[in-house]
Structure 1
Amino acid sequence: MSRIVILVIDGFGIGALPDAGEPRPGDAAADTLGHLLDGHRAATGHRLALPALEALGLGLAHPHPDLSRTPSLPAAAGRTALGYPGADTYAGHQTMMGADFSRVTVARLAEHRDEVATALRADGHGTELLGGRPPLVVDGRILVHDNLEADPGVNWNVSGRLEDVSFADVLRVARVVRSVAPVARVIAVGGHADAPLRTFVREGSLGTVGLDTPASGFYRNGGLAVQHLGAPLDRARRLPELAVGAGVPVTLVGKAADVLSCDAAVCCPAVSTTDVLALTLDALRRAPDTALIVSNVQETDLAGHQQEAPRYASVLQQTDTGLRALLPLLSPGDRLIVTGDHGNDPTIGHAFHTREYVPVLIHRPEATGHDRLPTAGTLADVGATAAIALGLRATALGSGTPLLRPAAGSAGVPG
C-alpha cells in the first residue's frame, strides 16, 4: 500500500541537454537552477535557501557549490532527459505518465502546409494562402498558423474571430488539422478581436508565422474559447488510467488537471502556488492507504517565460516551504517524487522553454541513507517508478523503465 505524490515543478531545468543548442545556439548554456542560484548569490550575497529540496538530494542531481551533496532524508536522486522532442508541458506530462511521445516532431506549418490543405479540402473546406505567407485561410474566416507563444514548431493554432465564425466551426477545422499534424498539440482558439485576424499576423522566431494572439484582443475582450487537441495517445497505457483501473484513486492538481485530463480522476485546477500546495496537502490528508496524486507548480514556468529570475526564485522557495509541510504526512511505503517537465531559464534572453535535464528526487520514508540514480533517458521512467510503487506493472505503460526496483524485504534499491 502506497500513497504516491508526484510534484512537477514546471520549467525546473538543471542543465542543457546535448541537443539544447539546436536550433538556438545560446540554449546550449541553459541551466535554470544553476543560473537562479548564481543570480541570487550575486544579488543578495548569500545562497538561495532550499532546505527541503536539498534534504531530498537536489545537490546530487545538480552539483552546485550552493547545494549540499548529502541529503538528510532517505532519498534517491538523479536527473533525467526529457524523452520527447522540443520542450513542452503537454508532451512532458504525457511522457511522464507513460505515453510514448518520441515520434512527435517539432515542425513549422509551412513544412506541412500542402498536406494540411489537402486534408481540409477533402473535408469540404476552401483554403488559400494569406497573401503568399505560410498561414492558411480556411473558408475565408479561420486561420491555421504557427503558435507564436510556445516554443517554435511545438504547437499549431487554429484561430477564429467569433464575430465572423462559431467556435464549433473553428473546432471542426482544428480536428481536421489534428488528423495530419505531426506536432504535439493543435490548439483551437476563438475570441473577440479588435480587427480582422489577418491584421495581427506577424513573423515569430525561427521562421514561424502566425497570429499575435495577445495583440488581437482575444485575451482582454472576454469570451475566449480554447480547446487543446493533443497528439494521438493510448490513454489506457498512461499511469492515471492504469491506476484507476486497479482501483487506485487519482487526484490531479494545478496544471496537471488541465494537461492530463483523466475522466475518472479528481481534478483540482489552480494556478496560484499557494493554492496548488494547499490542494496537494489536502489531497494527501484525505487519501486512503493507496493513492496517486500528481501536482504541477506552474508559477515557476510563468516566471521563466517573463524572464523574472527573482520571481522564479521566490516561487521555488515557496514550493520548498510546501514540501516541508508535506514531508511529515508521508508514512513508510509512501513515495514523494519531485521532478520537472522541461527547463525555462529566466536568464536565457528569450521567453521560450529551454531543453534541459530535470531532477528526479524520490523520498522513501522507510529507507535508510541515500542513493544517486543514473541519468535516465526519458521522463517516462518517473511514471514507471510510480507504477511499481503502487503495485502496478510498469510494462503496462506505453513507455518507461522503473528507476527503482523492489527488493525482497526492503524498500527498493537503484535499478
Structure 2
Amino acid sequence: MDKPYYQRIFVIIIDSLGIGATPDAVSFNSLGADTLGHLDAHFRMRLQLPTLQSLGLGNLHPTMGMPSLLTPRAVFGKIHPCSIGISDRESQWEMMGLPTLEMPAIFVGGVPVAIVNHFQQRIKRPVIANSRMNLRAALQNYGMEQLKTSGLIIFTDSSSTVWLVAHEDTASVSSLKKYCITLRKILDEAGYKIEKVNGVLFKGQTITNFFPCALYSSPLMPPDSTILDTLRANNYTVSMIGKTAEIFGEGSKNRDENNLEWLRALDETITKDFAGLCVTDLGEFDYQYGQKRNPEGFGSELMRVDKKLSQVIKKLHSTDLIILTGNYGNDPSYPGEFHTREYVPLMVWSPRLDVSEELPIRLSLADIGATILDNFGLITKTTYGRSFLNSLV
C-alpha cells in the first residue's frame, strides 16, 4: 500500500484480563483458572461492562451482567499466548514479535557468589544476606543491619528476579538505579538471563515501621529487534504508556501511578498529530488486584476503566485503529499470587470499520504485532505471527 490504511494504532492492554484456561494451563499450575468468569461469580449481575460488551467481550465470554450480542461493533476473537512463561516481559515481547521459547534463569538459593563478589568490587560497597526470601522477610531480618552497616541487601525470589535493598538514609534513588544497572550488566555478561533486577529503598527506623518507598527495575532487554524498533527505523512514532515503557527499558516502575493516570496520558497522546503506534498497559489490574487476589477491587476497577474506554473511543479519528487485548490471566480467586495461563481477549475497532466478525483463535500475541507491521507495509517473511489486517480493511 502507498500509505498505511490506519495512520495511528492504539493498543490498550487490559492487564491480567484472562477469559478462561488454555489447553496447556496445567503446565502453568492454572487448571480451571478463569479471571473474568470468577469475577462474574463474585459480582453476579453487578459486573456491568457495556463498552467491552459492545466490542465483543460478552461473545467471547458471556457473563450474568454481560450476555453475548447478535452483532458486536468490532472484529473480535481470543488469543492463546505461546511463550513458555507468563510474565510481563514474556507477554509483551511476544506481542512485539519476540516470543520466549526458553525459560529464564532462576537463582534458587541466592545470587552466585562469583557474581556477588564481582558486583561488590564494581560498586565498592559490601553486600549482606544473599539468599532466597521475599521483601518483607528481607526488611525484618536484615533491615537493621543494613541501616547500621550500609551494606546492600541482596536476595532472590521464586521468579527470575534479583532484588537490591537499601534504606533511604544509606542510598539515593540515583545510586540505587546505578547499582541495578551495574548488576544487570554483570549478569548479562555472565550469560544469566534474569528477567528483572529490582532495586528498593525503604523508610523507617525500626523493624516494626520499615516500609518500601521507592522502586527501580532494570529489565532484561530483547535479544533482537522488535516491531517497535522496526517502526522507529521507518520514521514512525512509537509511544509507550505504563508498564510497557518499563519492560522495553524506557521508564522505571512507579507504583504511585495507576490506570487513571495512564488513561489520561493516552488522552493526551490522542490529541497529538502523528503516524505510528501507541501502546498502553493498564498494569494496576496486576499488582493492585490480581496479585493481591482482590476480586472486588479488580471488578470495580474494570467497570471504571470500561466507562473511561467509552470516552477514549469517541475521541478517535477516522484513520485510527484501537486494539484492546490482555496479556495473561490473574485469577483473583485462584490460590497463590501468580499469573494464570489463560486465553486473552482481542477486540479491534475503528470509526471506519463497519463490520462485526469473530476471528479464529489466534495462536500467539505476536499476531497483534504482525498486524501492526502489515498495516504500515513493513511485514516480511520472517515476521513472527499471522496478520489479521485483511479483516480490518
Q: Same fold (TM over 0.5)?
A: yes
* Distance (whole Å) between structure 1 residues aligned to residue 17 and residue 305 of structure 2: 12
| Deviation of the 1:187 alpha carbon | 2.6
Stretch deviating more after TM superposition (82-91 or 291-300)? 82-91
Q: Which position in structure 2 is the counterpart of 1:212?
A: none
- Give 1:117's aligned amino acid: V
Instruction: Tell me which of 243, 248, 254 is aligned to 1:260.
Output: 248
Matched, 1:155 2:167: no
| Deviation of the 1:153 alpha carbon | 2.2
Q: Which position in structure 1 is the counterpart of 2:54?
A: 55
Are the equivalent residues in 2 in contact too, given 1:343–1:358 (CA < 8 A)?
yes
Q: Which position in structure 2 is the counterpart of 1:70?
A: 69
Matched, 1:117 2:113: yes
* Distance (whole Å) between structure 1 residues aligned to residue 181 and residue 151 of structure 2: 13
TM-score (normalizing by structure 1): 0.74
Q: SS at the partner of 2:239?
A: strand
| Deviation of the 1:191 alpha carbon | 4.8
Q: Unaligned 5+ residue runs, structure 2?
A: 134-141, 143-149
Within-5 A mapping of 1:269-308:
271-288=257-274, 290-301=275-286, 302-308=288-294
- Give 2:36's aligned amino acid: L
* Distance (whole Å) between structure 2 residues aligned to residue 394 and residue 120 of structure 1: 43
Within-5 A mapping of 1:168-187:
168-169=178-179, 171-179=181-189, 180-187=191-198
Q: Unaligned 5+ residue runs, structure 1?
A: 200-214
* Distance (whole Å) between structure 2 residues aligned to residue 274 and residue 121 of structure 1: 43
Q: Which position in structure 2 is the counterpart of 1:209?
A: none
Q: Which position in structure 2 is the counterpart of 1:10?
A: 15
Are the equivalent residues in 2 in contact too, given 1:88–1:154 (CA < 8 A)?
no
**Alignment root-mean-square deviation, CA:** 3.6
Are the equivalent residues in 1 in contact too, given 2:241–2:265 (CA < 8 A)?
yes
Q: Which position in structure 2 is the counterpart of 1:322?
A: 308
Q: Which position in structure 1 is the counterpart of 2:146?
A: none
Within-5 A mapping of 1:316-355:
316-355=302-341
Instruction: Tell me which of 38, 61, 83 is aligned to 2:41.
Output: 38
| Deviation of the 1:244 alpha carbon | 2.0
Are the equivalent residues in 1 in contact too, given 2:16–2:330 (CA < 8 A)?
yes
Are the equivalent residues in 2 in contact too, given 1:71–1:370 (CA < 8 A)?
no
| Deviation of the 1:295 alpha carbon | 1.0
- Give 2:33's aligned amino acid: A
Within-5 A mapping of 1:198-237:
217=210, 219-220=212-213, 224=214, 226-234=216-224, 237=225
- Give 1:240's aligned amino acid: L
Q: SS at the partner of 2:17?
A: coil
Q: Which position in structure 1 is the counterpart of 2:82?
A: 83
Deviations 1:321-378 (A, max 9, x none): 1221122333444211001121111111433222222111111433333222222222
Are the equivalent residues in 2 in contact too, given 1:78–1:374 (CA < 8 A)?
yes
Are the equivalent residues in 2 in contact too, given 1:345–1:354 (CA < 8 A)?
yes
Q: Which position in structure 2 is the counterpart of 1:101?
A: 100
- Give 1:314's aligned amino acid: S
Are the equivalent residues in 1 in contact too, given 2:184–2:218 (CA < 8 A)?
no
- Give 1:227's aligned amino acid: S
Stretch deviating more after TM superposition (320-329 or 158-167)? 158-167
Q: Which position in structure 2 is the counterpart of 1:365?
A: 351
* Distance (whole Å) between structure 2 residues aligned to residue 393 and residue 315 of structure 1: 36
- Give 2:248's aligned amino acid: L
| Deviation of the 1:171 alpha carbon | 4.2
| Deviation of the 1:298 alpha carbon | 2.2
Matched, 1:312 2:322: no
* Distance (whole Å) between structure 2 residues aligned to residue 187 and residue 269 of structure 1: 13
Within-5 A mapping of 1:128-147:
141-147=151-157
* Distance (whole Å) between structure 2 residues aligned to residue 169 and residue 328 of structure 1: 45
* Distance (whole Å) between structure 1 residues aligned to residue 324 and residue 218 of structure 2: 26
- Give 1:392's aligned amino acid: L
Stretch deviating more after TM superposition (79-88 or 3-12)? 79-88
| Deviation of the 1:123 alpha carbon | 7.1
Q: Which position in structure 1 is the counterpart of 2:91?
A: 92
- Rate the CA distance shift 1:23–1:249 in 2: closer, same or farther, 3 A: closer
| Deviation of the 1:40 alpha carbon | 0.8
* Distance (whole Å) between structure 2 residues aligned to residue 129 and residue 254 of structure 1: 33
* Distance (whole Å) between structure 1 residues aligned to residue 204 and residue 312 of structure 2: 44
* Distance (whole Å) between structure 2 residues aligned to residue 272 and residue 124 of structure 1: 35
- Give 1:67's aligned amino acid: M
Q: SS at the partner of 2:280?
A: strand
Matched, 1:400 2:385: yes
- Rate the CA distance shift 1:297–1:338 in 2: closer, same or farther, 3 A: same
Q: SS at the partner of 2:323?
A: strand
Deviations 1:110-169 (A, max 9, x none): 2796xx3345556785999969x658x9xx94454323xxxx324232445566676345
* Distance (whole Å) between structure 1 residues aligned to residue 109 and residue 367 of structure 2: 32
**How many percent identity over aligned positions?**
24
- Give 1:406's aligned amino acid: N
Are the equivalent residues in 1 in contact too, given 2:217–2:246 (CA < 8 A)?
no
* Distance (whole Å) between structure 2 residues aligned to residue 246 and residue 269 of structure 1: 33
- Rate the CA distance shift 1:243–1:28 in 2: closer, same or farther, 3 A: same
| Deviation of the 1:81 alpha carbon | 2.2
* Distance (whole Å) between structure 1 residues aligned to residue 349 and residue 55 of structure 2: 7
